[in-house]
Amino acid sequence: MNTPDPLFDLSGRVAMVTGGSRGLGYQMVKAFAERGADVVVASRKLENCKAVAAEVEAMGRRALAHSVHAARWASIDALIEAAYEHFGRIDILVNNAGMSPPMASHDVTEELFDSVVGLNFKGPFRLASQIARRMSAAGGGVIINVSSSGSLMPLPHVVPYGAAKAALNAMTRSLAAEYGPTVRVNTLSPGPFLTDIAKAWSPEQRESAGNASGRPGRPEEIVTAALFLASPSSSFVNGSLIRVDGGLPIGQ
């Protein structure tokens, strides 16, 4: 059953979430479906996408599971075509796929650099620009680019990742100017969250963080910010960056 929600009603809308089979992306998929949206669930592993799509359908919504390599334009273009063939439109796009193995900068290979930048900037650019064009032609839509606090503050050992996410932030502002006013493009910038990546953290890192909240976020705590940006409740928010990081001391 859908959850009535006067502030975040997404009834009749179609959302696409990359990296939607786990972590923050999975939380967004569930939250969108609970509030009436049909969902395209996209990630590398099709079987994981199918499992999440089944959860969406159990809520009474339609779903499409699709495998995508979110750094390769041919794979991204295939995802777009499949989604539009299945649903006819995309109203909400969440560019959520991303990764970066921690590594000393002097050990980063050219292959790894290209992989990190491809997944965190090159791919999201292709997906956002192509869907923004279609959204504009159809009368409007919403794009949410999921960045990172590492784009706003020093973050050693993942320098290509932080730089790619900073480029994503700049891309948000430029695409908002290019495809506005009908298409809104905003950045969602999470801080430390207890997703799959936290399995490699120490017990202390999983319990505390150097932010005002004193702890990492729980995955479900991304939901309200994502719903705000996806819904008409943020109709005058465009080209903005929303931090969900528990109050990290950014800029100090």
> Catalytic residue among 26, 84, 161, 179, which?
161
Answer whether 151's CB lies under 8 Å from 166's CB: yes
Q: Is 84 labeled as catalytic in the residue annotation?
A: no
How far is the C-alpha of 196 from the C-alpha of 189, rounded, in Å?
Answer: 17
Supply 245's token pair. 């990081």
Angle formed at CA 120 by CA 19 and CA 86, multiple of 5 degrees: 40
Q: Among candidates 169, 182, 178, 161, which has minimal Cα distance to 95?
A: 169
How far is the C-alpha of 117 from the C-alpha of 111, rounded, in Å?
Answer: 10
- Residue 108: CB partners within 8 Å, gap ≥ 6? 159, 160
Residues annotated catalytic, as ranges: 161
